[in-house]
Amino acid sequence: MNRMQFLRGKFSSETAFRPPWAVSEKDFVDMCDRCGQCIKSCHLKLIKAGSAGFPEIDFSNGGCDFCQACVQNCPTDALKLTDINELQPWRLTAEFKNNCLSERGVVCRACGDICEMRAIQFKLAVGGVTLVEMNTSEGTGCGECVSVCPVQAIEIKHLTNNDQLERVNE
C-alpha cells in the first residue's frame, strides 16, 4: 500500500489497472505527468483519469485491443514498449466470482464467445453445471469478458508472482 492509498482509506494492496505497457507502479507514479495523452489516444475510451488524475483502465465498457496508441503518445515513457514486454503488455487475468451463471446451471457462454484467445474454457461437471476456467497462459488480460457478463461475475486481477504466463517464455 502506498501513501496515497493510505490517506484515501484504500487499505487494499490492489493497485489500479494502468494502461498497457506501464512501467512498475512506483516508477509510473513518479514518471507520469498526468498529461492525458494516453486518455485522448484511446479510441475505445477505456483509459480514464483515476485517482489523483493518473490514467487507469476501466473495463466496464469493453476490452483493450492493444492498438499501442497510448504507448506511442506517452511523452514521459511511463508507458514504454520494449522487446521484453511487447508480448505481455500487463500482468492481468480474469477471475470468476461464485455468481457465474454457468456455474449455477444456467447456459451462458458470453465471456467465452467474446474471448478471441479462447482462454476461457467451460468444463462440464456433475449436476448440470459448467465450471468456468481461465487459462492464464492463453489470456491477455484484455478485459473484454468483463463488460459482456450479464451478472458482473468477472473481475480483472493482477497476476501474482506465483502465477505463470507460459506464453511469454515460449
pLDDT value, residue 8: 59
- The residue behind cell 500482468 is 91
Label residue 83 by pLDDT band (50, 70, 90).
Answer: confident
Average pLDDT over residues 74-93: 91
User: C-alpha distances in angstroms, 122 versus 6, 12, 66, 101, 129?
Assistant: 39, 31, 26, 12, 10
pLDDT value, residue 6: 65
- pLDDT(2) > 70: no
Average pLDDT over residues 45-51: 94
Mind spelling out the 3-state secondary structure of the chain? CCHHHHHCCCCCCCCCCCCCCECCHHHHHHHCCCCCHHHHHCCCCCEEECHHHCEEECHHHCCCCCCCHHHHCCCCCCECCCCCCCCCCCCEEEEECCCCCHHHCCCCCHHHHHCCCCCEEEEECCCCCEEEEECCCCCCCCCHHHHHCCCCCEEEEECCCCCCCHHHHC
pLDDT value, residue 168: 36
Count of Cβ atoms closer than 10 Å to residue 16 Cβ:
18
Euclidean distance between CA atoms 33 and 17, whole angstroms: 17
Q: Which of 5-14, 80-89, 112-121 has the highest mean pLDDT?
A: 112-121
144: amino acid identity, one letter: E
Q: Which residues contact 140 (CB under 8 A, 6 or more apart)?
A: 66, 89, 117, 119
Cβ-contact 47, 22 below 8 angstroms:
no
Please tell me the pTM assigned to this model.
0.81
Average pLDDT over residues 1-27: 76
Average pLDDT over residues 125-150: 91
Mean pLDDT of all residues belonging to the chain: 88
- pLDDT(138) > 60: yes
Average pLDDT over residues 49-56: 93
Closest CA to 90 of 170, 4, 16: 16
Cα 50 to chain centroid, rounded: 15
pLDDT value, residue 170: 32
